[in-house]
A and B are shown apart, each in its own frame.
Chain A
Amino acid sequence: MNSIHDLGGMHGFGAIEAERDEPPFHEPWEGRAGGILEVMTFPAGFTVDRFRYLRETLRPDLYLTQTYYEQWIYIAEQVLLESGMISPEELARGKARPPKRTDAMRAAAVWSFLHDRTHSGRDLDQKPRFAIGQRVLARSMQPAGHTRLPRYARGKIGSIVSHHGAHVLPDASAHGRGDMPQHLYSVRFAARALWGENAHPRDSVHLDLWESYLEPA
């Protein structure tokens, strides 16, 4: 979706405020929020792409004002509500109704969970459509759901820098349509192709793009 999360190339946000010796968490609740989103019980079929998509559905002004971990809490609430694991009444009142489940991840399992996390690479019989060095056009597409093709690259011509094998397609995985793996490529776009003749002639931006985002140029 072309929502406010698609920030690449936007103006008006001011200076980057880098903090010296930034702690992992600025408040204890940030750690709790982070932990909840990692180790809580998710509905069957939940994916990292669904997680990202839900973040994108946050109201645009709140997306810009809420901190990162506040957004995670929003995501947790959405997951629980949309899956029916928690009812709106339970969430609003903060009181659980039985039954209570007994299968939450235990502390002893956390370290190996971090280690054995499933990843997005998949085997695919189909041959890659594009070769390294080939010129490609990022398609002009405007899906209402989740996608990882930023607006600023759409309709622009780049060249394939590398092929990463096949990966789960976020556009499908975020909406319960399975993995639908596709070949994934790093594509280099000259800054001038993206931003016009005032951009620096030596600069470039690289994006990881799925095969269906691209067509031969």
Chain B
Amino acid sequence: MNGVHDMGGTHGHGPIAPEDEKHEPLWHAPWEARMLGITRGMTYPKGFNIDRFRHIRELMPPALYLARSYYDHWYAVCVAALLNGGLATREEIKSGHAAPGSARRNDAARGDQVWQSQKTQGIFTRELTTPPLFAIGQRVRARNINPTGHTRLPRYVRGKLGVVRIHHGGHVFPDTNAHMQGEAPQHLYTVAFSMRELWGADASARDETCVDLWESYLEPA
């Protein structure tokens, strides 16, 4: 979707104002740590995945997305996942307590399982039997598509010409996975685009941006 999350090349967000690396705290408030722990440790609806997580984040109301901080986005995603998965009700979210007599589960990830689970989760490469369509060094064009659902093809590269730099093998396809329509793995490539191609004649002639793009985002050029 062409949401506010697709920020590449947009203006108006002000200076970056980084904190000094040496002094930036890991958390800017204690609740941020709790929210990270909740997000990592909670029980999600069946079939939930990282792409769905990202897509729900994108579906936040645009002004909230812009106004709220990072872990507060996670809060919004968790709440949406609970509501949409029927794991909690609006009233429960508001009150912070389970409705009297509601079911209690006993299958949440336990504290002593966390270490192992963090070591094994999140492998997104998949074996593919089909050969890659594109070769390293080949010129390709990012397709001009504007899906209303989840995609990892940023607006700023659509319609632009680039060169394949790296072939990463088969990877889970976010555009289907986010909608729980299967992993549908595709070949993944890193494609380099010159800054002039992306931003016009005033951009640097030397600089480039490399973007990881799935095969169906690309066409031969």
Contact = CB atoms under 8 A, between A and B. Distances in A.
Contacts of B143: 196
Interface residues of B, number: 33
Contacts of B3: 10-12
Given A11-B1, A196-B146, A155 B159 contact: yes
A77 to B, nearest CB: 17
Interface in B114-164: 143-146, 148, 155, 158-160
B106 interface: no
A139 B64 CA distance: 33
| Interface residues of B, dominant DSSP | loop
A187 to B, nearest CB: 17
Contacts of B158: 196
A64 B201 CA distance: 31
A60 B11 CA distance: 9
| Interface residues of A, dominant DSSP | loop
B145 A196 contact: yes
A29 interface: no
B146 A61 contact: no
B4 interface: yes
B167 to A, nearest CB: 25
B205 interface: no
Given A60-B66, A139-B200, A142-B199, A11 B12 contact: no
Given A10-B3, A60-B66, A195 B144 contact: yes
A1 B12 contact: yes
A118 interface: no
B12 A61 contact: no
A4 interface: yes
Contact of A140 (B10, B64, B199): B199
A142 B3 CA distance: 19
A196 B10 contact: no
Question: Which 7 A/B pairs are nearest by Cβ-Cβ distance?
Answer: A3-B12, A61-B66, A140-B200, A64-B63, A61-B67, A11-B1, A1-B11
11 contacts: A3-B11, A9-B146, A10-B2, A12-B3, A57-B12, A139-B201, A140-B199, A140-B200, A142-B203, A155-B160, A196-B143
